[in-house]
Chain A
Amino acid sequence: MSTYKKFVTVPLGLLACGAFGFFLRDVEGGKAPSLEAVGRLVGVKSTPLTISAGAVFRQNYNRIVADYEMPVKETELRYAGIGGMLASLGDPHTIFLPPRAAQAFSDETSAKFFGVGARLGSDALGAKASDVFEDGPAYKAGLRKNAVISTVDGKSVVGLDIDSIVRKIKGPEGTSVRLGVIQVGATKPVTIVIRRARITTPTVSGDVISGTRFGYLMITQFSEPTALQFDREVGKLERQGIKGLVIDVRGNPGGLLTTADEMVGRFVDDKPVARLKFRSGSEQVERSASGKVHDFNYPVVILLDEDSASAAEIFSGCLKDYGKATLIGTRSYGKASVQNVFPLIDNSSAKVTIAKYYLPSSGYIGRKVDEDGVMISGGLEPDVKVQLTTDVLVNIGDPKTDNQLAKAIEVLKSRGLP
């Protein structure tokens, strides 16, 4: 080896050793050696343009944790980051659910939670039972609608806000709670002990509309037990000899697609409910349940508004498309997409839009909004348009103040029935 060669090869070799160390990370990561890293070495501070998206997230997360003027809750920051990532898709239905929200969401879709089985409203003397579920433990223990709860486990709840009273009453399955209750018409409280249990929330409720022979059923959401609850309530009304039915899905945000299939199956047997189109281009046709058709030998109308969405729209749209019901009210929300919930190992979950759907003949009803969020198109067009009047204090379900319901009765009457 000549001296000249040594002078060249040795320093070159040394340089290569150093460079190999410096760029090892890139090679390991399967990338070309990073020139930006060299840039940072000489003090260039601008964010490199080809930095990976994952690194952008990590770097800025670390920056906020380290530099922000206030202490940062790291887990929440991380969740907010993932939430923002999903929000960047511009789809309001693709969202991240941190553990607590994920649990609440899953309770809601299964319509199950632990408690005593009553809805409470505020009252000067504590909390008023605005609704007591007939299947629930509170009903069995003797609590009745409009009773007032004034003590919980011996402690007065007078003057407390309703949320904190509910928190005191709720608890794990199998444990007991002692309530001081003033029943309707009574003046002195009695003590009721209720064993907490898993509660199935009623999602269907209603009655015969007074002064008519029409039934009224409000469906608050399409959860797991909804179809069975619907059957039961319809049975109750039919035993009273109804000649027409109003199904109210106003404010119903939807729920499970399978429940919509079940519900449509009460009206049409094994017919297409919705055609789903996935990201891959593949399609899937949801069909109504088979062998579940009920003989509705009276006219059915559906009340809907701009908050009726998702499964509520599939149900209403199919009944309209198959000529089984008249839609009354205002244009519905227009949510023509299906979401799947992906639970993650830290108990959080991601609700992601996985498909768009098309109704049998109403087709695609997806909502379009302008840049100010004002709706341009989409939603189900009602057969009879009527806006809810709020000039009076509206009591939903009471035709005296609920003009949309009054219209529904008018439509049923025009069918030549009482």
Chain B
Amino acid sequence: MTKGQTTQNILLAGACALGVGLFFGGLQLRDRTDPLQRVQRREASNEDLLASRDQKGTEIPLGDFYNAMTDLLKHEYVEAITDDQKLASGAVRGMILSLGDPRCTFMDAKEFRAYLNARMGNYEGIGAEFGLRGSAPTAQKTASSAEPSDDPREAIMMGHVPYLAVTMVVPGGPADKAGVKPGDIVSDIDGHWVVDDAEIVRFDKARKLFADKKIPFATVSKLQKDLRLKVERALMPAKAKDRLALGTMGQVAVVWKRLGVSRKTVIQKAPSAIVPFGVKNGALAFRFDSQAAGWLKEAIKGKPEITLDLRNNVDGDFGAMRKVLAVVAPDGTYGTLTTRRHETPERLTVRDGNAHAPKIVLRVDRTTRGAAAIFARALESRHLATLVGGKVGDDLSVKEVIGLPDGTGYTLVTSEYRPSGDAAKVALVEDKS
């Protein structure tokens, strides 16, 4: 064997070893890229999951459950099933609805497209943002009671129907021109009652009073008749929202409630928009998106004092907000992101912040929501900004926005922001570390 051959053999062995290493490296890498898709070595067949005597009560693995159900439907359901993705997004919809959380919304393809456009400042319909208000859940509802239902009668029986309220009105848009204000409650659209459980609670009370013989039957009977007529032409809040927020053609007749007073308007739908970045009355207005930090950095260059207008700022991107915070504020902790999952809360921190932070005035009101509200409360908690105008909105939740392959999508609340109670103390701890 020549020296050259030995070298060649050693190199070859090395190459083989490297090849094997790369093979496992590739496996590892793939696991990390999509950890949720580990190959299932054994696909369960339909028959395995259908009950037989000896197996009752056995838990079915998640993936098998899905496959088994798809198989079952494909073989047995009365109509042909052609769209698997529709089944999958139906499943996601069911899971989101089961959370019973008005802050998490599943949207069909039309709604999701409009939602994404609105995040970019472009609105359809009457030009407003809406929120479902109601008691936030204390625990996940049981699956049986959370059966997804569009039937108002069922929803009413289950109780707790959130009501639909305006959270923001696009300046100069159709709703604005019609005098709609944030906080207005939608109570009727084109003659359809928008379900609101106050009405049902009133009826239940009357029924109890009647059972105790405190009011005559005629009173309950009238309430029941009214309610039945309403229910026959009822709109669930989510559907009602579609009628107001989708499309740019046609008009809607809406009855609004403000402080118990009803007001009827007829509004022509038309496209409307919020200008993403601009200077208005000496204040900088912007949207929390990927370009915000860069734009603001330029806009405040060399200014010792700035005014930011955070009104009509409802659904900003949380990640973008963190970057904007670093543009105007120094390093430190600005509160916590808490969850109710028994974990230590994550800190909202700024690194590589602005050491020469300007004096900041923030114009806010209740249309300052989500990321914008967190931004305002974060700066306020460290006494880095003066808030003028009003109270910020009560929505301090951090949301993920997830799109599904068939164009549908949903929002998922991942944490709640809490401003630090004793800002100075937190800063001190931070400095020591």
List A residues at the B interface (Cβ < 8 Å). 10, 13-15, 17-25, 28-29, 37, 40-41, 46-64, 67-73, 75-89, 91-92, 94-95, 97-98, 100-101, 277-279, 337, 340, 342-347, 349-350, 352-356, 372-374, 390-393
Q: List 6 A-B contacts (CB under 8 A).
A: A55-B37, A71-B340, A75-B143, A81-B95, A86-B90, A352-B76
Given contacts A52-B84, A69-B415, 4 further A-B contacts (CB under 8 A): A54-B63, A54-B70, A352-B77, A372-B192
Is B404 touching A60 in the complex (CB atoms < 8 A)? yes
B50 at the interface (CB under 8 A from A): yes
Which residues of B224-240 have CB atoms within 8 Å of chain A's CB atoms? 224-225, 232-235
Q: Find the A residue at minimum CB distance from B106.
A: A84
Which residues of B86-106 have CB atoms within 8 Å of chain A's CB atoms? 86-99, 101, 104
Is B88 touching A57 in the complex (CB atoms < 8 A)? yes
Compute how far the CA of A350 lies from the CA of B73 in the bound complex, rounded to whole angstroms.
Answer: 10
Return the contact of A19 from the options B26, B60, B88 (Cβ within 8 A): B26
Which residues of B15-74 have CB atoms within 8 Å of chain A's CB atoms? 15, 18-20, 22-30, 33-34, 36-39, 48-52, 55-60, 62-63, 65-70, 72-73
Compute how far the CA of A345 lies from the CA of B47 in the bound complex, rounded to whole angstroms.
Answer: 10
| Among all A-B residue pairs, the 8 with the closest Cβ atoms | A84-B94, A88-B90, A21-B26, A80-B98, A22-B26, A53-B84, A17-B19, A18-B22
Is B233 touching A372 in the complex (CB atoms < 8 A)? yes
Rounded to whole Å, the gap between the CB of A27 and the closest CB of chain B is 10
Is A64 touching B49 in the complex (CB atoms < 8 A)? no
Return the contact of B76 from the options A19, A49, A57, A354 (Cβ within 8 A): A354
Q: Find the A residue at minimum CB distance from B75.
A: A279
Is A17 touching B23 in the complex (CB atoms < 8 A)? yes
Return the contact of B86 from the options A49, A88, A393 (Cβ within 8 A): A88
Rounded to whole Å, the gap between the CB of B128 and the closest CB of chain A is 22
Which residues of B338-378 have CB atoms within 8 Å of chain A's CB atoms? 339-342
Rounded to whole Å, the gap between the CB of B372 and the closest CB of chain A is 19
Q: Find the A residue at minimum CB distance from B228.
A: A390
Q: Find the A residue at minimum CB distance from B138.
A: A70
Is B33 touching A40 in the complex (CB atoms < 8 A)? yes
Rounded to whole Å, the gap between the CB of A307 and the closest CB of chain B is 11
Rounded to whole Å, the gap between the CB of A365 and the closest CB of chain B is 15
Chain B residues whose C-beta falls within 8 Å of the C-beta of A95 in the assembled complex? 147
Compute how far the CA of A345 lies from the CA of B72 in the bound complex, rounded to whole angstroms.
Answer: 14
Return the contact of A48 from the options B52, B99, B405 (Cβ within 8 A): B405
Chain A residues whose C-beta falls within 8 Å of the C-beta of B430 in the assembled complex? none
Q: Take A18-B25, A58-B66, A343-B51 as given contacts and tell me if A88 and B93 are in contact as well, using a CB distance cutoff of 8 Å.
A: yes
List B residues at the A interface (Cβ < 8 Å). 15, 18-20, 22-30, 33-34, 36-39, 48-52, 55-60, 62-63, 65-70, 72-73, 75-81, 84-99, 101, 104, 137, 139-140, 142-144, 146-148, 150-152, 192, 217, 221, 224-225, 232-235, 339-342, 397, 400, 402-405, 412-416
Compute how far the CA of A47 lies from the CA of B24 in the bound complex, rounded to whole angstroms.
Answer: 26
Is B78 touching A81 in the complex (CB atoms < 8 A)? no
Compute how far the CA of A61 lies from the CA of B93 in the bound complex, rounded to whole angstroms.
Answer: 11
Is A14 touching B18 in the complex (CB atoms < 8 A)? yes
Q: Find the A residue at minimum CB distance from B101.
A: A70
Is A83 touching B85 in the complex (CB atoms < 8 A)? no
Is A390 touching B72 in the complex (CB atoms < 8 A)? no
Return the contact of A67 from the options B25, B63, B150, B414 (Cβ within 8 A): B414
Compute how far the CA of A87 lies from the CA of B403 in the bound complex, rounded to whole angstroms.
Answer: 20
Is B51 touching A344 in the complex (CB atoms < 8 A)? yes
Rounded to whole Å, the gap between the CB of A261 and the closest CB of chain B is 20
Rounded to whole Å, the gap between the CB of A337 and the closest CB of chain B is 6
Rounded to whole Å, the gap between the CB of B301 and the closest CB of chain A is 30
Is B147 touching A56 in the complex (CB atoms < 8 A)? no
Chain A residues whose C-beta falls within 8 Å of the C-beta of B70 in the assembled complex? 53-54, 85
Rounded to whole Å, the gap between the CB of A71 and the closest CB of chain B is 5
Compute how far the CA of A22 lies from the CA of B32 in the bound complex, rounded to whole angstroms.
Answer: 10
Is A53 touching B340 in the complex (CB atoms < 8 A)? no
Number of A-B residue pairs, CB cutoff 8 Å, is 295
Is B26 touching A60 in the complex (CB atoms < 8 A)? no
Chain B residues whose C-beta falls within 8 Å of the C-beta of A61 in the assembled complex? 62, 95
Chain A residues whose C-beta falls within 8 Å of the C-beta of B36 in the assembled complex? 55, 58-59, 62
Is A60 touching B402 in the complex (CB atoms < 8 A)? yes
Return the contact of A83 from the options B50, B147, B402 (Cβ within 8 A): B147
Is B92 touching A84 in the complex (CB atoms < 8 A)? yes
Q: Take A53-B84, A87-B148, A352-B73 as given contacts and tell me if A18 and B23 are in contact as well, using a CB distance cutoff of 8 Å.
A: yes
Q: Find the B residue at minimum CB distance from A51.
A: B405
Rounded to whole Å, the gap between the CB of B145 and the closest CB of chain A is 10
Compute how far the CA of A78 lies from the CA of B65 in the bound complex, rounded to whole angstroms.
Answer: 9
Compute how far the CA of A392 lies from the CA of B140 in the bound complex, rounded to whole angstroms.
Answer: 41
Compute how far the CA of A342 lies from the CA of B412 in the bound complex, rounded to whole angstroms.
Answer: 33
Chain A residues whose C-beta falls within 8 Å of the C-beta of B75 in the assembled complex? 279
Chain A residues whose C-beta falls within 8 Å of the C-beta of B68 in the assembled complex? 344
Q: Find the B residue at minimum CB distance from A354.
A: B76
Is B143 touching A76 in the complex (CB atoms < 8 A)? yes
Chain A residues whose C-beta falls within 8 Å of the C-beta of B25 in the assembled complex? 18, 21
Compute how far the CA of A76 lies from the CA of B63 in the bound complex, rounded to whole angstroms.
Answer: 15
Is B39 touching A29 in the complex (CB atoms < 8 A)? yes
Is B49 touching A345 in the complex (CB atoms < 8 A)? yes
Compute how far the CA of A390 lies from the CA of B224 in the bound complex, rounded to whole angstroms.
Answer: 9
Compute how far the CA of A48 lies from the CA of B86 in the bound complex, rounded to whole angstroms.
Answer: 15
Q: Find the A residue at minimum CB distance from B154.
A: A92
Is B146 touching A80 in the complex (CB atoms < 8 A)? yes
Q: Take A53-B70, A346-B57 as given contacts and tell me if A100 and B404 are in contact as well, using a CB distance cutoff of 8 Å.
A: no
Chain B residues whose C-beta falls within 8 Å of the C-beta of A79 in the assembled complex? 143-144
Q: Take A53-B88, A56-B89 as given contacts and tell me if A85 and B143 are in contact as well, using a CB distance cutoff of 8 Å.
A: no
Compute how far the CA of A75 lies from the CA of B144 in the bound complex, rounded to whole angstroms.
Answer: 12
Q: Take A89-B73, A353-B77 as given contacts and tell me if A80 and B340 are in contact as well, using a CB distance cutoff of 8 Å.
A: no
Compute how far the CA of A79 lies from the CA of B51 in the bound complex, rounded to whole angstroms.
Answer: 17
Is A63 touching B30 in the complex (CB atoms < 8 A)? no
Compute how far the CA of A254 lies from the CA of B403 in the bound complex, rounded to whole angstroms.
Answer: 41
Return the contact of B79 from the options A70, A92, A279, A340 (Cβ within 8 A): A279
Chain A residues whose C-beta falls within 8 Å of the C-beta of B34 in the assembled complex? 37, 40
Chain A residues whose C-beta falls within 8 Å of the C-beta of B152 in the assembled complex? 373
Is A14 touching B73 in the complex (CB atoms < 8 A)? no
Is A345 touching B51 in the complex (CB atoms < 8 A)? yes
Chain B residues whose C-beta falls within 8 Å of the C-beta of A356 in the assembled complex? 78
Rounded to whole Å, the gap between the CB of A198 and the closest CB of chain B is 19
Is A342 touching B72 in the complex (CB atoms < 8 A)? yes
Is A81 touching B92 in the complex (CB atoms < 8 A)? yes
Chain B residues whose C-beta falls within 8 Å of the C-beta of A354 in the assembled complex? 76-78
Chain B residues whose C-beta falls within 8 Å of the C-beta of A83 in the assembled complex? 94, 98, 143, 146-148
Rounded to whole Å, the gap between the CB of B199 and the closest CB of chain A is 18
Q: Find the A residue at minimum CB distance from B413.
A: A69
Rounded to whole Å, the gap between the CB of A101 and the closest CB of chain B is 5
Is A345 touching B76 in the complex (CB atoms < 8 A)? no
Rounded to whole Å, the gap between the CB of A354 and the closest CB of chain B is 5
Q: Find the A residue at minimum CB distance from B340.
A: A70
Is B27 touching A22 in the complex (CB atoms < 8 A)? yes
